[in-house]
Structure 1
Amino acid sequence: MPEQDYSKFAELSPFELKDKLIEIASTDAARMMLNAGRGNPNFLASQPRHAFFRLGEFSLEETERSYSYLDSGFGGLPDRNGILQRFEDYVHRNSASEGIRFLNAAISYANDQLGIDRTELVFELFQGILGCNYPFPPRMLPQAERVVSAYLSEEMFGDRPRSGPFSVFATEGGTAAMTYIFQTMKANGLIKEGDKVALGTPIFSPYLEIPPLPEYDLGIVDIRMAEGDDWQFSDAELAKLEDPAIKLFCLVNPSNPPSVKLAPNDLDRIAALVEHKRPDLYIVTDDVYGTFADDFESLFAVCPRNTLCVYSFSKYFGATGWRLGTIALHEESVFDDALDSLSEDTKQILDKRYSSLTTNPRGIRFIDRLVADSRAVALNHTAGLSTPQQVQMTLFAFAGLLDRRDAYKDAAKTLIRKRFKTLYMNMGIVPHRELNDVNYYTLINLQHLSGQLYGDAFSEWFVAQKKGYDFLFRLAKETGTVLLPGKGFEVVDASARVSLANLTEAEYAEIGSFTRQVLSEYFSEFQGIR
């Protein structure tokens, strides 16, 4: 096969490179393309969706109580009076329909476990699903915030005691959350051009790509996870965080692409370092994959004062198209303390920035500044995630809270872990899982794999000839299989990220076989030049 030069694509983001690989993989129309490059799951939670549509039917019945005499498709705005009784009548009439039992259980749970008034919740859900009013408060609907807070507490804290109240901002997915955080930190002087941001690498590539943008111009410090220690942090790497020039530490936990959660000991070491040496450090933890881990605990629980938590409902509930994310921040936080400590000159500039919102701009908390800045401040009154989205988010949160026996959770974890085993078995490798492995993704270390299959000499040749990047294009061209390069996530060794969420088990068996096939071809090339 003639050599082709793919080096011109080397600086592309892995997600932009994916499109080029898909183009190459699709050249053979008679062959099915296997795209394991993106983590969109091929499973989803059905019950909260049934509930969403049943709730929609009830809400439409309610609107048609008004203006029916016009006979023109008119509906009226929500009527709070008697709505709980009418909802209970609806539930009774439709008790055999999918989703009705879920709705009834959710209302009961909210009242009994969270102290939420039934009427307030039903009315908020009814009004919200119709989308007939602006989101108010813009940050999040009140009852939705209470339900989502309870869900986040259950999923992020594990057995750790709660650390006081926290507020939630509903966003258009986790990626919007990332955007808003950097924007507001810059606008409020918490990060400045020339500051350093530490990244727990390997990491989701946008965290690598945002800091160098001209509007931020932040230096990046790698806090590198050790592959040989199941992707945990060494003392030497964590010690880098003692540098006062580092203002912000971002990490994805469980990691992307290694898909390994931080061990409790690592979490405690980070918390101790912050407490004793860097009490001023801002931390952003992106915990979207935490719900797939066993006994997960977030840095948000362990180091609450310094940590802002990003969570997305997209992966666990199969809801990437819904764009449902959250930012959570404890009421006592280093972010708000930093606002209080700004110079008087900076405070006056920010007074002007937020003066249209309140007569006391300095009293606006960091999380509410995120909301305002998400709409250029002037449009704060129209900020907020759409109310139908907030209703579906609330129902997803209820699904997690009501899954008392972890039936859905165990099924999701079993599914992806079985795919992990199948993939490696078909490469000719005995799969091995460590205690903290999650397996939403797997990172195929091509350097190690080539050595395991064909010996150290071949592995050294493979690395010296820089075949790792070429491997991805060759795999796409010859087999129609799309994987992402580990390099784009700041992985040191030649590697490829495989999503274990979006294909069938039979297709992962094919990917494993194709991976070995292409490496075998490289081995034949290696033997021919010896």
Structure 2
Amino acid sequence: MKELSPFELKDQLIKLADEAFKGEVLNAGRGNPNFLATLPRRVFNLIGKFAIEESEVSYSYLHNHIGGFPKKEGIYTRFLIFLRKEQCSAEANGILTYLSYIEDQIGLNIDDVLMEFVEAYLGSHYPTPPRMLVNTEIIVKKYLTKEMCQNKLDSDFDVFATEGGTAAMFYIFNSLATNKLIKPKDKIAIVTPIFTPYLEIPKLSEYDLDIIELQLDPKSDWQLPTSELEKLKDPSIKLLCLVNPSNPPSTKLSTETLLKLKKLVDEDRPDLMIITDDVYGTFSDNFVSCFGVIPKNTLLVYSFSKYFGATGWRLGTISISHDSIFDELLKTADDEVNNRYTIITPTPKTLSFIDRIVADSRAVGLNHTAGISTPQQLQMALFALNSLVDLNSYYKNSCKALIRNRCKLLYSSLGAHFEDNENVVSYYTLINVADIALELFDEKFAQWFKDNNKINDFLFALAKETGVVLLPGKGFGDTHPTLRVSLANLKEYQYEAIGKKTKQILKEFHTQYENSK
């Protein structure tokens, strides 16, 4: 059982809970949100309706539902005529708002953008360029600069659209190894607790990396202590991986912590590569990514899955600065590394790391057909625009209020104190069972729970006796007896029930403790 990942363990817990509580399982073990952005989806369908009408003009004489390629000339004028039939619908107003923003705030040609959107919906061309559609990349860069960097970023960067954050993770590790930026037995630092695959992938035989864990401190608001940061001064550590805000503590790195990291990189480790996975950044207050503070050294992974309720769309991005340490390190790459890319460029030495990631994602030879589908890229652009035009953050504030209210209700029904502050995000929460045992009972019981490593027994009892499924914090690299609760996928009253049922099982363990004396 100890060898299972927390997600595989979750499947066993669900099976156990389902056997006892048919159809009444409260599964807070996965972070798939039960809320989503509707307007950009409405706009997607509206563009699709227009795109199909435009396509059907080409071969209308055949009367057989055969379409052709739309014509760019006058497309915006025809679109405005098309919108007259929509009678001020939410989606019609939405797309007009999006296009107005694009023209006024980004300065793109509306005919160019609309043509790209129409062709993207139809999916009638290979993604060109393979890395990302031209105007879509500009829009997404604007979004990432706003949401990840508070509109403050000193350097320009490129974006590669990927099949979600998970594909991004694979592509990055694959290209790091392929380009010998990491080699077997190299040391990499990982900030823990963290999304489990970041601990599992480096151990695979094709990477065989030595992991140095940097532990976040729950007693210091889940920040990275100076003593842990100091480990990065070791020049043999090639790479730092972090999820920010963290998963599962769900706390963003403070400005102070980020500045300490920047100081260390500037003064001691200018060669350090950093991967920051910031999928939950949009749920925090005034979020600033490591990418916004140390852009040269940082590769940014982002996914649209959680914020827009789009896990099924598979929409992720990889962003790398034009002046990156990854490209700088590649200047010393040997011929074996560079010759891999001679089939796509006569000057492989000048090929940037992000374009190598694109090529490697399709085994180089299929580079010309790389990239996610154009309909996916269209929906990504519309999600980004939905955020960009929301100047008063109505959508963001609603999402934040939703998960934070659930968190408060969970701890209230548990009868425990919840420490809230500006860095807490509350997409997940880690319930430290020993701390709750101390708060509700006494120190001896809390120590007994820790000394006897009761956390897995607690999880199975919770599933079997109450139908509640949670995950062990240990599976994410936490060293404390914690339970991870997703605050994104159930209704408010269900979190109240989880709190009460967790308290119920804790009382049973207290009885067990009393009987063991």
What TM-score, normalized by structure 1, do the two folds share? 0.96
Deviation per residue, 1:117-163 (Å, 9 max, x gap) = 0000000000001111100000000000000000000011126x321
Q: Does the 8 A contact of 1:483 with 1:498 survive in 2?
A: yes
Amino acid at match of 2:200: E
Aligned to 2:19: 27
Query: Identity over the aligned pairs, expressed in percent?
Result: 51
- Give yes or no for the alignment of 1:514 onto 2:501: yes
Determine the C-alpha separation between the residues in 2 that align with 1:465 and 1:283.
Answer: 38
Q: Would the aligned equivalents of 2:58 and 2:70 in 1 still touch at CA under 8 Å?
A: no
Structure 2 residue 440 is the aligned partner of structure 1 residue 448:
no
Residue pairs, 1:142-153, within 5 angstroms:
142-153=134-145
Q: How far 1:30 sits from its partner (Å)? A: 4.3
Equivalents in 2 of 1:389, 1:94: separation in Å? 24
Q: Which residue of 2 aligns with 1:5?
A: none
Per-residue Cα deviation, 1:496-517 (whole angstroms, up to 9, x for no partner): 1000000000000000001000
> CA shift at 1:71, angstroms?
1.8
Q: Which residue of 1 aligns with 2:322?
A: 331
Gapped regions of structure 1 (runs ≥ 5): 1-8
Alignment of 1:74-113 (within 5 A): 74-113=66-105
Count of residue pairs the alignment pairs up:
517
Cα deviation per residue 1:202-223 (whole Å; 9 max; x = unaligned)?
A: 1110000011100000000011
C-alpha contact 2:180 2:337 (8 A) present in aligned 1: no
- Partner residue of 1:381 out of 368, 382, 392: 368
What letter is aligned with 1:466? N
Give the structure 2 partner of residue 369 of structure 1.
356
Q: For the residues of structure 2 that align with 1:29 and 1:495, how far apart are their CA atoms? A: 24
Counterpart of 2:461 (choices 474, 495, 520) is 474
Distance 2:474 2:87 in 1: 53
Residues 404-442 of structure 1 show CA distances to partners (whole Å, capped at 9, x for unaligned) of 001000010011000000000111113331221000000
Moved more, 426-435 or 452-461: 426-435
Q: How does 1:52-201 map to 2 (within 5 A)?
A: 52-158=44-150, 161-201=152-192
User: How far apart are the structure 2 equivalents of 1:227 and 1:295?
Assistant: 21
CA distances 1:313-344 after superposition (whole Å, capped 9, x unpaired): 000000000000000111000000001123xx
Does 2:475 align with 1:484?
no
**Correspondence 1:191-230 to 2 at 5 A:** 191-230=182-221
What is the Cα deviation at residue 306 of structure 1?
Answer: 0.2
Deviates more, 1:464-473 or 1:439-448: 464-473
2:10 alignment counterpart = 18
Equivalent residue for 1:495? 482
Partner of 1:278: 269
Q: Structure 1: how far apart are the matches of 2:179 and 2:255?
A: 33
- CA, structure 1 residues 411+80, in 2 after alignment: closer, same or farther (shift >3 Å)? same
Q: Partners of 1:429 and 1:126 in 2: how far apart?
A: 53
Match of 1:395 in 2: 382
Give the Å deviation of 1:521. 0.5
Q: Tell me the distance in 1 between the aligned counterparts of 2:242 and 2:292.
A: 15
Q: Is the 8 A contact 1:469 1:494 kept in 2?
A: no
Question: How far is 1:164 from its partner?
Answer: 1.7
How do residues 412-451 of structure 1 correspond to structure 2 at under 5 angstroms? 412-451=399-438
Of 36, 45, 48 in structure 1, the residue corresponding to residue 37 of structure 2 is 45
Counterparts of 1:49 and 1:504 in 2: how far apart (Å)?
23
SS at match of 1:26: helix
Deviation at residue 28 of structure 1 after TM alignment: 2.6
Alpha-carbon shift at residue 29 of structure 1 (Å): 4.7
Q: Are 2:305 and 1:318 equivalent residues in the alignment?
A: no
**Structure 2 match to 1:232:** 223
Q: Secondary structure at the match of 2:30?
A: coil
Contact 1:129/1:387 (8 A) holds in 2 = yes
Q: Which residue of 1 aligns with 2:339?
A: 352
Aligned-residue Cα RMSD (Å) equals: 1.0
Q: What amino acid is the match of 1:517? A: Q
**Partner residue, 1:410:** 397
Q: Which amino acid aligns with 2:239?
A: L
Matched, 1:292 2:283: yes
| 2:265–2:272 contact (8 Å) kept in structure 1 | yes
Helix, strand or coil at the partner of 2:198? helix
> Does structure 1 residue 523 correspond to structure 2 residue 510?
yes
Structure 2: how far apart are the matches of 1:478 and 1:28? 7
In structure 1, what is the Cα distance between the partners aligned to 2:367 and 2:70? 24
Q: Distance in 2 between matches of 1:260 and 1:469?
A: 24
Question: After superposition, what is the alpha-carbon deviation per residue over 1:140-195, rounded to whole angstroms, capped at 9, x for unaligned?
Answer: 00000000000000011126x32121100000000110100000010001000110
Alpha-carbon displacement from aligned partner over 1:282-317 (angstroms, at most 9, x marks no partner): 000000000000010000010010000000000000
Deviation digits for residues 67-115 of structure 1, max 9, x if unmatched? Answer: 1222222111121122111111112331422311111111111111001
Mean Cα deviation higher: 40-49 or 449-458: 449-458
2:446 aligns with 459
Residues of 1 paired with 2:22 and 2:196: CA distance? 33
SS in 2 for 1:444: strand
State the Cα distance separating 1:450 from its structure 2 match. 1.2
The residue number in structure 2 matching 1:3 is: none
Deviations 1:228-249 (A, max 9, x none): 0001111110000011110000
Q: Deviations over 1:330-368 (max 9, x none)?
A: 1000000001123xxx2x112321111011111110000
Given that 1:231 and 1:260 are in contact with CA atoms closer than 8 Å, whether structure 2 keeps it comes out as: yes
- Report the Cα distance in structure 2 between the residues aligned to 1:60 and 1:220, rounded to whole angstroms: 52
8 Å CA contact 2:20–2:465 kept in 1: the answer is no
1:469 positional shift:
1.2
- Taking the aligned partners of 1:461 and 1:368, their CA distance within structure 2 comes to 54
Which residue pairs with 1:4 in the alignment?
A: none
SS at match of 2:340: helix
Q: In 1, distance between residues paired with 2:352 and 2:516?
A: 65
Aligned-partner Cα distance in 2 for 1:251–1:100: 40
CA contact (8 A) 1:350 1:361 kept: no
Report the Cα distance in structure 2 between the residues aligned to 1:373 and 1:95, rounded to whole angstroms.
Answer: 47
Cα displacement (A) at 1:255: 0.2
- Paired with 2:380 and 2:386, the residues of 1 have a C-alpha distance of 10
Query: Counterpart of 1:426 in 2: which secondary structure?
Result: helix
Q: How many angstroms apart in 2 are the aligned matches of 1:20 and 1:79? A: 55
